[in-house]
Structure 1
Amino acid sequence: MTLDFAAVRENLFPASHEAIGDWLTFPWHRDRTNKIQAHKVHSSQAIAIDVFGTLKMSIDRDRVLDAIARHVGVSPGGPWSIALEWTDTDRLLGEPRPTQVDALAIGSKAALIIECKFTEPGGKCSQASGSRTRQPQCNGNYIEQANPGSGVRSRCTLAGKGIRYWDYIPKVFALDPAANYAPCPFAGDAYQWMRNVVLAAAIGEHWNLKAAAVGAFADHPSFPTARKARRGLLDPSLGGQATITPISYQEIIAMACHVGLDQQLWNDLAAWVEQKIAKASLRFDSATTAN
C-alpha cells in the first residue's frame, strides 16, 4: 500500500474501509497532479465514504435506507444496495462523460441518487465560462444562440451537443423548453443539483422505480451547501414536481441511531463525523478570512 493510501485510510472511518473493494481501481477524486484527495480532512469524497461506506457494510443498511426513503418521500422496501461513485454506463442523459454519482442506493421500490458535499458549494455549468484556450460556448441565457466553436444553434449549448437534460427538465420542472429564460435558470450552482434531479428522472423511467435526488451535506453554519440547504437547494420558483431533498450527515446518523441495532457503530460514527466537521470548519473559516 502506498503512502497515499495510508493517509487515506487514516482519514476514513474504519468501518467504511471494506466498502472500497479494490483500493487501486476505486475512482478516487484527484487533483491536477493526479494525487488522491481523500486524505484531506475537508474531502467531500472521504466524508461520503465515512457515512455511506459504513452504511453499505452495516447490518442496519435496510433499516436506515428505509428511513431515508420515507424522509425524502419515496417508498421504503429492501433489500437495499449501495454503490459508491456510481457511473451511468447506460448514458441515459447522452453525456459524453456520464455523471458520476457519489452514492446510489437501490431498493425494491425506489432508487436514491445521492450528491455529497462537505465545505464546497454546488458545481456550475462550464459552458458559459471561458479559459485561456477556449472562449465561452454559451452567453449564460437559455435563448437561441450559436455556439461560437461549432456554429450549432440551440437554446442550450449542451442540448446542441446531444445532451438530454432538457428532454427531462420539462417533466420535473415547470419550465417550457420552447421559452426563453435570461439568465438560464441553471446558470449557477443550481446546475449540479439539476443534473441529479434529471438523472433521477431518467433512472426512474429506465428502471421502473420511484427515484429521488438527495443532497447529503455536512451541517455547519460556515459551509456554503449547508447555508443553501436551509433555503432550498433549488429555487422554489422553478415549480413543478422537481425536488432534491437536502439531508445532513448528522440527520442520517441520527436516523441510524433511532432505527439501527448497532448503536455503538452509529455513536462512534457520529463522534467521528462531528470531529471531522469541527476540524474542517476551522480550516474553512481560516481560508475564508485570509481571502
Structure 2
Amino acid sequence: MISDFEAVRRNLFPASHGAIEDWNAFPWHRDRANRIQAHKAHSSQAIAIDIFGTLKMSADRDRILDTIAESVGLPQGGPWSITLEWKDTDRLLAEPRPTQVDVLAVGARAALVIECKFTEPGGKCGQTAASASGQRQCSGSYVDQINPVSGVRARCTLAGKGIRYWQYIPQIFALDPDVDQSPCPFAGDAYQWMRNAVLAAAIGKHRNLQCSALGAFADHPSFPTARKAKLGLIGLSGQAAITPISYQRIIEMARHVGLDQDLWSRLSVWVDQKIAGAASRSFGKFRGTGAGSSCSGITTENKI
C-alpha cells in the first residue's frame, strides 16, 4: 500500500515536486476528516502545483510571468518569485483567519494574486449560514441589520467585525457603501473571487506594486466552474476585477516564450489528460453512472 505522500507525488507533474520544500509542513487542502486531498485526479490544489510549481522551478519563470503580466495589463520586470498557498500574515484585510491564496507571484513592478480552480465551485460567505443554534449572522443582503449573535449593527456583518473588504469594494466594483444591495452581490459564489480582488488591491497598496487578481481554471465545456470563471467579476468602468485565464492558455504562453520546449510540451500533455479524465467523470455523474463527486477539498468559507 502506497503512502499518502507517495500518492500525492504520483498525482503531481514531476518537474513541480521541487517547489514543495517540506512535504509535511506544506498547507495541503484537507477534507473534514483532515485527510490530504491532493492525490485525487480532480484536485484543484494538485493542478495548481502542476502548473505553478513547475513554473516556480523553471529557468523560464521570469519570461513567462512577464508575458502573463503583460497580458493582463501589468508592467513586466523580474526577478519574479512564486509562493504556493501564500497566506496574508500582514493581515492587510484584518481577517481573523487570513485569506490563503493558491498562488502569489511577485515581480519587481507587479504582483499576481491567483485563485486556481478545477471542477469545484467557489466558496460562499459563511455569515449567511445557520449556526448550530439556527441563527444566521447575516440576512444575505447588504442592508442595515443587527447581527443576532454579536448585537453589532452594520450593513455587512464582516464589516461589523472590523474586516476591511468594504474599504476596497467601492473602488473596485463602483459600489456605494452607503447604498443597500439586496441581495448582497457577494453572498454567493462571487464571495471567494471578491476576497481575492480586494486582497490584490490591498497587496498593491501595501507593497507599492501594480497588482491584479487572476482566476486560473481548466477550460472544458462540461465544467460549470470554467463557465463561471470566464464570466469573471466586473469591477469599476466595466473592467474585470478578476481576470480569467485558463491553464491551457498559461501553458500556451510558456510554449511560446519559454526555452525549455520539451518541459512545456510534457506539461501540456499531463494537464490535458487530467482535464479529459475529470470531464469524463463529470459526464458520468451527469448521466447518473455513479462517478461520484467532482469536488475536491472543503469549500472556502469565512466562518468568523
What is the TM-score with the length of structure 2 in the denominator?
Answer: 0.92
Q: Structure 2: 5+ residue runs without aligned partners?
A: 291-304
Aligned to 1:127, what secondary structure does the other structure show? helix
Counterpart residue identity of residue 222, structure 1:
S
User: What whole-Å deviation, never above 9, does each CA across 1:213-252 have from its counterpart, x for those lacking one?
Assistant: 000000011112211233x21146x746552100000000
SS in 1 for 2:211: strand
What is residue 286 of structure 2 aligned with on the other side? 288
Aligned positions of 1:117-128 closer than 5 A: 117-128=117-128
Counterpart of 1:260 in structure 2: which amino acid?
A: G
Q: Distance in 1 between matches of 2:240 and 2:92?
A: 18
After TM superposition, give the deviation of residue 121 of structure 1 in Å: 2.0
Label 1:171 to 1:240 Cα distance change in 2 as closer, same or farther (>3 A). farther
- Partner Cα distance (1:173, 1:122) in 2: 19
4+ residue runs of structure 1 moved beyond 6 angstroms?
none
Alignment of 1:126-145 (within 5 A): 126-145=126-145
Q: What residue is the counterpart of 1:7 in the other structure?
A: 7
SS for the counterpart of 2:123 is coil
Q: CA deviation at 1:115?
A: 0.2
- How do 1:169-184 and structure 2 match up within 5 A? 169-184=169-184
Q: Distance in 2 between matches of 1:5 and 1:26?
A: 11
Q: Distance in 1 between matches of 2:29 and 2:163?
A: 24
Say yes or no: does 1:271 pair with 2:274: no
Alignment correspondent of 1:98: 98
Partner of 2:59: 59
Q: Tell me if structure 1 keeps the 8 A contact 2:111–2:211.
A: yes
User: Is the 2:77–2:107 Cα contact (8 Å) retained in structure 1?
Assistant: yes
Alignment partners' CA distance in 2, 1:197 and 1:134: 31
Contact kept, 8 Å, 2:213 with 2:242, in 1: the verdict is: yes
Q: Distance in 2 between matches of 1:119 and 1:207?
A: 33
Aligned-pair CA distance for 1:192:
0.7
Higher relative contact order (CA 8 A, sep 6+): 2
Contact 1:140 1:183 in 2 (8 A): yes
SS for the counterpart of 2:287 is helix
Query: Could you say which residue in structure 2 is the equivalent of 1:156?
Result: 156
Equivalent position of 1:46 in the other structure: 46
| 1:234 match | 233
Percent identity over the alignment is 70
Aligned partner of 1:256 among 251, 254, 264: 254
TM-score by length of 1: 0.96
**In 2, Cα distance between equivalents of 1:216 and 1:191:** 16
What is the rounded CA distance, in whole Å, between the counterparts of 1:163 and 1:289 in structure 2? 43
Matched residues in 1 for 2:188 and 2:26: separation? Answer: 30
